[in-house]
Structures are given as structure tokens and as C-alpha cells.
Structure 1
Amino acid sequence: MPNILAIGFDPHTIPGFDPAPVAAGIEQGSKAFAELGLAEDLLLIDFDELDGRAQAKIVEKLKSRQYDAVLIGGGIRKGPGLLELFQTVVNLVHWHQPDAAIAFNESPGDSPDWVLKALEQKRKS
């Protein structure tokens, strides 16, 4: 069973944001991972932890076990002013999980599809 780490923001911690749709998408994605036989670890970062605490949590999680793929959620990648965090997260994954496929999603609900594509690309390489 492939081990997957999904990293994203806890939608309940983003100021001025309705967390319900994203929380539902995360739940849908987690169910789909399970149905596909993928073991998902979910790491949700508090939006107010962008002062280095998020990086420490990510490193701790990346060091905790070997992952076949790491998914970096859209909030980290798309949010205004978050390019530095996105670059840091990609590098942390690269440095601490060099054998893991790296995946990105368009929405929480399509995360399993993108992880499967990344795993297939890894298998072919």
C-alpha cells in the first residue's frame, strides 16, 4: 500500500475564508485515497504558522516515515504572498523525501487523481 503525505492549510485557520467547501473536499479526497488503497497522512498547517513553525512541522512529518508521494495542496501554491512558502515546501520534500513523487492538485477533491499520476510518472522514470 503506497504511503501518501498530503500537506495543506487547515481551512478553518484562514482569516475571512469560508472553510466548509475546502474541508468537504479534503474529506472527499481522504475517502478516495482509502478507496484506492492509498495510506494517506494529512498534515494541515495553521495559516498563522507561517513564521517558521509550519516548516518545523513539515520537516518533522517528512522525517517520520518514508512516503511514496507527497501532495502539496493548492492553497500553499496559489495563495497571494505564499510563493516563498511554496518554494520552501517543495525543497523540504526534495531534501527529506528524495525518492517520493511530488504531486500538486487543482482542488482537494482531485488530490488522489494527481497523486496517482505522479506515482505513474515515477514508475515510468
Structure 2
Amino acid sequence: MTRVLLIGIHPDAVDITDPSLPRGITHEKIAAGIEQTMADMRSRGWEAGFCSLRPETAQADVVASLASAWDCIVIGGGIRIPPPNLILFEMILNTIIRTAPGTPVAFNTSPENSADAAARWLR
């Protein structure tokens, strides 16, 4: 079975006041987007996992999630897009490189297209 891991910030830990995030974003909308992408992945017959990060424990969270083997890892836009998260994004990417070498990494543009992002690298 294909296994895909989505790495994202826990919805309650997202600074929804950040102007680089879409207007009208709420913690509830973020949570709903994550649930939708997990359902989309499962509907494709994949085992879907979500590494829910809090900035203060992010590296340990990623390492724990990578204890299992994944066929693709998707890093969510909430990590990549807001400029204050640059160092967090670098840490996550370098942790993946060290902990899961050779595993494809994909990037979504919204929670709704995370499965499409993974599919690009699962062919």
C-alpha cells in the first residue's frame, strides 16, 4: 500500500493574523482542509498520515513521524509560505533528508491539492 505523510503545523498553532496567509483563514478552515486532504489520500487507496507540528517540538515531531517508511512526504504551505517559518521549513527539509534519504518530497499550494502533489512523485 502506498503511504503518504503530510507535514503541517497543528491548526491551533498557526498564526492566522500573518498577512502572508489567505484572507479569512481560520483555525477551523485549516483543520477542515487537513481532514479533506486525508480523505482524498485515503480515497486513492493510500495510507495517509499527518505529522501535526507545534514549533517548539517540530524537529522531534518530524523525527517521530519518520520512524515509519513513507513513499512520499508532502510539506504543507503553512510551513513554507509565511516568511517567519523559513527556519522551521529548513529544519524540516534537512531532517527529512537525514532521516528518510531518497524519499520524494512534494509541495502543495493548498490543503486541497496535497494528494495531487504526492501523486506527481508516486508515478
The two structures have a TM-score, normalised by structure 2, of: 0.86
Q: How does 1:18-57 map to 2 (within 5 A)?
A: 18-46=26-54, 50-51=55-56, 53-57=57-61
Q: How does 1:6-25 map to 2 (within 5 A)?
A: 6-16=6-16, 18-25=26-33
CA contact (8 A) 2:16 2:27 kept: no
1:94 aligns with 2:102: no
Q: How far 1:16 sits from its partner (Å)?
A: 4.5
1:83 aligns with 2:91: no
In structure 2, the gaps of 5 or more residues are 18-25
CA contact (8 A) 1:68 1:99 kept: no
Q: How far 1:56 sits from its partner (Å)?
A: 1.2
Inter-partner Cα distance in structure 2 for 1:42 and 1:57: 11
Query: What is the RMSD computed on CA atoms of the aligned residues?
Result: 1.4
1:106 aligns with 2:114: no
Residue 35 and residue 80 in structure 1: after superposition, are their counterparts in 2 closer, same or farther (change >3 A)? same
Q: How does 1:65-80 map to 2 (within 5 A)?
A: 65-80=68-83
Q: Which residue of the partner structure matches residue 21 of structure 2?
A: none
SS in structure 2 of the partner of residue 99 of structure 1: coil
Inter-partner Cα distance in structure 1 for 2:96 and 2:48: 16
Inter-partner Cα distance in structure 1 for 2:9 and 2:53: 5
User: What are the Cα deviations for residues 64-98 of structure 1, in whole angstroms up to 9, with x where unaligned?
Assistant: 21111011110110112111111111111111111
Q: How far 1:15 sits from its partner (Å)?
A: 4.0
Inter-partner Cα distance in structure 2 for 1:69 and 1:84: 22
Q: How many residues align?
A: 115
Instruction: Give the number of the structure whose residues are more often helix, by fraction.
Output: 1
Inter-partner Cα distance in structure 2 for 1:116 and 1:16: 29
Q: Which residue of the partner structure matches residue 64 of structure 2?
A: 60
In structure 1, the gaps of 5 or more residues are 121-125
